[in-house]
Chain A
Amino acid sequence: MSNDRGKIKRHGLSVILTHWLVALSTFVLIFSGFGQMPLYGRYMVDRIPGLFWASDFSVTLLIHYWAAAVLMGAVAFHLVFHIIRRDFDILPRRGDLRESGRIILATFGFGEEPENDKYLAEQRLAYVFIAFSLLLVIVTGVLKVLKNLPSINYSEGFALWITLLHNIGTFLVIIGIVAHLGAFVFKANWPLLPGIFTGSIDREYAKERHGIWYRRICGGKEP
């Protein structure tokens, strides 16, 4: 539960590893995915030292496939691990939209922030947005991989739609990442940052901002 008196454990090693595998593979997928459009040659990205391969579709396609495998592995791990453990803290709850509004207003000094569980209401909503976007990209991506096999040929309309949805999903993922990182513009969220690197956050911060979670894991007692 805690690793020293001033800290409290927020994430286990599995969560930290999964988060970073998803993050890393997603960044590689975005870069290699944009490489699938003829952009890097035109915008001379391939002239940046070390990136000569960026405009070579055969290279970026292979990178895209390997990164997709890592992402699928990490997502499958994440889903199964948390379902078995019944860790559903990050799933949205009734009233999360309104509560998010209150949190955002409180960030700007209007009203008081509600007491939070392990995750803020806005974090739970952001999770669903990113999860949906990633699943959309994964499912359409798998269909696109199948399409490239010599034995499979989709109808014209189906191919067009899955590609469009794959591209839309990519932009949704990017929006999700920007919003996720954008949350750390606000100082109030900074104490959460060490959690995803070391697994622990400041005990006083947890007690103050994540009171519901703090009381639950401490069994209502001060540890």
Chain B
Amino acid sequence: MSDFSRREFLKRSVASGVAGGLVLAGMNRRAEASAAADVGTVIDLTLCDGCVSLPLPACVSACRDKNKPRFPEPIENIGNYWPQKKKEDWSKKRDLTDRLTPYNWTFVQKVQVEHGGRDHTLYLQRRCMHCDNPPCADLCPFSVLHKMPEGPVLIDHDLCFGGAKCRTVCPWGIPARQAGVGLYLKIVPTFAGGGVMYKCDLCYDRVKAGKIPACVEACPRNAISFGKKEEMRSRAHERAKEIGGYLYGENENGGTSTFYVSPVPFEKIHAALLKQKANQAKPGLPGFPGTPVGVENMTESANGIAWTMAIAPVAGIAAAVGAAYKTMKGGGGDVE
């Protein structure tokens, strides 16, 4: 080490810096810019009457008719999620229309809320909000959910393993699971996987073809508007201002493509929905979302430290240069 010069040290430092930078190679890769969530919807609660004169709200019927060919057809004898003694099988309850299931991708909630000295009866069409930065898609362990450039969030039913993490990380618990169907059956069905997740895809095929979603088309009172997302946002703001009402979905979960307009604060609607859920025969069942106001996106805290993480390799490199210099100059660096 005696012939080791400062110049040589600097030369090696630069060379190693380049190699060390390879650790950060991914940081240099330009990711495809986030596609602006192009389309969106406004759901006007002052217009929706839940189609009370019909056996089923028109939006729900249209959704079921349109998506029926894609509803799951599970195997006969569905095993439990070992070691648990349960499984999620909705196939015998295909007619359920009062919650989200793998066979019912949208439904209408009826709530009665007092506000401003008046009793309001409201109907909320519920389905996937198609978030701007969907945690379901970000955190799926197999990346089988995806935010499309046009805005809708889709599930790849062929690759979904049915772990239902997407439902857990969704503030509204939207995706619904059907056991006994999908890829997991071909791997180790007893020990891993739970089926396939299903939810609204905003009629992506129709949107791609320049049409409007089936539920929007079916609504007899034009309570659901569909169009360019920014136009929908403006429309929702205008409508809320017009009625002195409230907006939901613009900021929730970091922003969504669905804007609800209501004459009643959503905190009150949320409280009423929670009360309804608590009074259901099985309050623990999924598929009956509330309207938590200002709910945070689950990736927010992790995203908050993402750039801080970049300091770690830089610190590692700086410490390495210092340590290498010390050990080499000190003459005690024969063995490291």
Q: Which A positions have Cβ atoms within 8 angstroms of B?
A: 1, 9-12, 14-15, 36-39, 42-44, 57-58, 61-62, 65-66, 68-70, 72-87, 135, 138-143, 145-156, 158-160, 162-164, 167, 217
A139-B25 in contact given A1-B335, A14-B336, A57-B165 (Cβ < 8 Å): yes
Among candidates B15, B301, B314, B323, residue contacting A58 with C-beta atoms closer than 8 Å? B301
Alpha-carbon distance A72/B13, docked complex (angstroms):
18
List the 9 closest pairs (A to B, CB-CB), nearest first.
Answer: A76-B316, A142-B26, A83-B16, A80-B320, A73-B312, A163-B143, A73-B316, A76-B313, A77-B316
Bitwise interface map of B from 1 to 43 toward A, beta carbon under 8 Å scored 1, else 0: 0000000010011011101101111110101111100000000
How many Å lie between the Cα of A172 and that of B85 in the bound state?
33
Q: Are B23 and A75 in contact (CB under 8 A)?
A: yes
Q: Report the bound CA distance from A159 to B156 in whole Å.
A: 13
A58-B306 contact, Cβ under 8 Å, with A72-B23, A75-B313, A83-B15:
no
With an 8 A cutoff between CB atoms, is B240 at the interface?
Answer: no
Option from B34, B302, B309, B324 in Cβ contact (under 8 Å) with A80: B324
Contact A38 B165 (CB under 8 A): yes
A27 CB to nearest B CB, Å? 17
From A70, A79, A162, B20 is in contact (CB under 8 Å) with A79
Cβ–Cβ contact A85 & B336, under 8 A? yes
Q: Are B144 and A153 in contact (CB under 8 A)?
A: no
Give CA–CA (A135, B24) in the complex, Å: 10
Asked if A163 contacts B324 (CB within 8 A), the reply is no
Known A-B contacts A44-B83, A76-B316, A153-B34; A84 and B26 likewise in contact (beta carbons under 8 Å): no
What are 12 contact pairs spanning A and B, CB under 8 A?
Answer: A12-B333, A68-B309, A69-B305, A69-B312, A72-B313, A73-B316, A76-B317, A84-B321, A145-B302, A146-B27, A149-B306, A160-B159
B335 and A142 contact, CB distance less than 8 A:
no
Task: Give A58 to B304 CA distance when docked, in angstroms.
Answer: 12
The CA-CA distance from A14 to B34 in the complex, in Å, is 42
* Contacts of B297-328 to chain A: CB distance below 8 A: 297-299, 301-303, 305-306, 308-309, 311-317, 319-321, 323-325, 327-328
Please give the distance in Å from A128's CB to the nearest CB on chain B.
15
Which residues in B have their C-beta under 8 angstroms from that of A163? 140-143
Query: Does the CB pair B324–A85 fall under 8 Å?
Result: yes
CA distance A210 to B306 in the complex (A): 44
Question: Which one of B139, B142, B169, B335 has the highest number of Cβ atoms from chain A below 10 Å of its Cβ?
Answer: B335
Q: Shortest beta-carbon distance, B39 to chain A, in Å? A: 15
| 4 more A-B residue pairs beyond the given contacts A57-B168, A61-B139, with a C-beta to C-beta distance below 8 A | A57-B298, A73-B312, A84-B321, A217-B335
**Cβ of A79: which chain B residues have Cβ within 8 Å of it?**
16, 19-20, 22-23, 320
Which of B23, B254, B327 lies at the interface centre, i.e. has the most chain A CB atoms within 10 A of its CB?
B23
Check A150–B254 contact: CB distance below 8 A. Answer: yes
**Is A150 touching B133 in the complex (CB atoms < 8 A)?**
yes
A152–B134 Cα distance when bound, in Å, is 11
- Judged by a CB distance under 8 angstroms, whether B79 is at the interface is no
- The complex places the Cα of A208 from the Cα of B316 at a distance, in Å, of 36
**Given A61-B139, A146-B31, CB of A38 within 8 Å of CB of B164:** yes
**B74 within 8 Å of A by Cβ?**
no
Q: Which residue of B lies closest to A139 (CB)?
A: B26
Nearest A-chain residue to B254, judged by Cβ: A150
Point out which of B163, B254, B316 has the most chain A C-beta atoms below 10 A from its C-beta.
B316
Q: Note all chain B residues with C-beta closer than 8 A to A143.
A: 26, 29, 31
Which residues on the B side are within 8 Å of A84 (C-beta)? 9, 12-13, 16, 320-321, 324-325, 328
Query: What residues of chain A lie closer than 8 Å to B311, measured between beta carbons?
Result: 69
C-alpha gap A77/B312 in the complex (Å): 10
Quick check: A74 and B316 within 8 Å, CB to CB?
yes
Q: Could you tell me the distance in whole angstroms from the C-beta of A195 to the nearest C-beta in chain B?
A: 10
Contact A15 B321 (CB under 8 A): no
Q: How far is the CA of A60 from the CA of B336 in the complex (A)?
A: 35
Q: Is B201 an interface residue (CB 8 A)?
A: no
Report the minimal beta-carbon distance from A153 to chain B, rounded to whole angstroms. Answer: 4
Please tell me if the beta carbons of B320 and A77 are within 8 angstroms of each other in the complex.
yes
Flag B112-151 by CB within 8 Å of A: 1 or 0 each.
0000000000000000000011000111111110111100
Contact: A14 with B323, CB < 8 Å? Answer: yes
B242 located at the interface, meaning its Cβ lies under 8 Å from any Cβ of chain A in the complex: no
Q: Which of A39, A143, A156 has the most CB of B within 10 A?
A: A156
B325 surroundings in chain A (CB, below 8 A): 84
Contact yes or no, A153 B32, CB < 8 A? yes
* A42, A82, A141 pick with most chain B CB within 10 angstroms: A42
Q: Are B19 and A80 in contact (CB under 8 A)?
A: yes
Chain B residues whose C-beta falls within 8 Å of the C-beta of A78 in the assembled complex: 316, 320
- The reply to whether B81 and A75 contact each other, CB–CB distance below 8 Å, is no
When C-beta atoms are compared, the residue in chain A nearest to B34 turns out to be A153
* Best-surrounded residue of A58, A135, A167 (most CB of chain B within 10 A): A58
Task: For the complex formed, measure the closest distance between the CB of A68 and the CB atoms of chain B, giving whole angstroms.
Answer: 6
Contact B16 A148 (CB under 8 A): no
